[in-house]
Amino acid sequence: MMELKELDVCGEMAAVMEIIRGGFAQAPWNETWDDEAALREYIEGLTNAPDSLSLGLYDGARLAGVSLGRIKRWYWGAEYCIDDLCVLPSMQGRGAGTEFVKLMDEYLRARGVRSVSLWTKRDAPACGFYRKNGFHEGEDKIVFEKEL
């Protein structure tokens, strides 16, 4: 049985790194994260930020998925902004991600969070996963970026 818990990232850094490394190694991301110090710095940057909220999906005692994000407070209420959401590659396509989202929704709703947001690549297989799990493209928002 899967269970959601707030994640002690420092205590489970190796498992968090394994999940992120494995989950984003394949196409379309092809993120190698060969530099362990850079990966650790990335994770610590997300999880040490004010209002950060890190959630773990546990399959028994084993960490099977992570959601690294933060709570943003708006005039209309709180939003959970996900920076990284990933499950172990061996559990992808077997309902673990859907269960994770369901458990996160329940957890966040019980704490007064009113919405969840994230961004992903438009051509990523993850788009279908997110749509299937109740997410929709924001009609009034666009992401801008520029190379420096």
pLDDT for 100: 97
pLDDT tens-digit series, residues 59-88 = 999 999 999 999 999 999 999 999 999 999
How far does CA 50 lie from the centroid of its chain?
A: 17
**Cβ atoms of 80 and 117 closer than 8 Å:** yes
- Is 145 part of any domain? no
Full-model pTM: 0.89
- Is 99 part of any domain? yes
- Is 9 part of any domain? yes
Nearest to 10 by CA among 52, 73, 70: 52
Q: What are the strands of the beta sheet with 113-117, ordered from one edge?
A: 2-6, 52-59, 62-74, 77-87, 113-117
CATH label of the domain that carries residue 37? 3.40.630.30
How many folded domains does the chain comprise? Answer: 1
Phi and psi angles of residue 87, each rounded to the nearest 5 degrees, phi first? -120, 160
Answer yes or no: is pLDDT of 103 > 90. yes
Q: What percent of the chain has pLDDT over 90?
A: 66
Q: Residue 69 and residue 7: Cα distance in Å, rounded?
A: 11
- Is 141 part of any domain? no
Angle at 100 between CA 45 and CA 48, to 5 degrees: 15
**Cβ atoms of 113 and 102 closer than 8 Å:** no
Answer yes or no: is pLDDT of 120 > 90. no
The boundaries of the domain holding residue 78 are 2-132
